Amino acid sequence: MPSSVPLRDDFTSTELRRFASRCLDANQARRLLSLAAVYDGMSRADAARIGGMDRQTLRDWVHRFNEEGPDGLKDRKAPGRARYLSEAQMAELGEVVETGPDPVTDGVVRWRRVDLQKVIKERFGVAYSERAISDLLKALNFSHISARPQHPAQDERVIEAFKKTSPELSPRM
């Protein structure tokens, strides 16, 4: 039968229990308590059962603990699938969104997700869903809130004169 992976010797079970009592991540605390049980001499199978895992999973956590210490026992975010657009294409898309559409060539006065979906398909040959367009815009630090569209022939002086003004109220006594 193969021997178990030894734990690093710069920690004790008491220290690991102290770390577990202070940490805010429940999964990390559970793993720390399992390793503390191993330090106390409990069998690996029983220590794994304490942490709600099997022996092989405990062995994987021992490797991470030996390499990174208690911080290595935290959950990590999965990287996810890579984006279809390159960094240069993302930068170009950012410029397209920033400059806005040309009503004559693009046929719209403001970008919608469906419009950007068509632009990406035409320019880069990549098909994205409307939902994925939102993710791309978020990655480019664009907000979903847009300014109210303004007609090109609109006169600011006429708008200002049209605004309603309320008389000042007398202060309450």
Q: Is the pTM of this model over 0.85?
A: no
Q: What is the mean pLDDT of residues 15-27?
A: 93
CA distance 15 to 70: 10
Q: Give which of 6, 17, 13, 71 is closest to 44, Cα–Cα.
A: 6
38-87 tens-digit pLDDT? 999 999 999 999 999 999 999 999 999 999 999 999 998 888 888 999 99
Question: Is the pLDDT confidence value at 147 over 70?
Answer: no
Question: Is the pLDDT confidence value at 146 over 80?
Answer: no
Question: Is the pLDDT confidence value at 169 over 80?
Answer: no
Q: Give which of 102, 86, 101, 103 is closest to 146, Cα–Cα.
A: 101
Domain-wise residue ranges, the chain: 13-73, 78-143
Indicate the range of 78-82, 93-97, 125-129, 149-153 predicted with least confidence.
Answer: 149-153
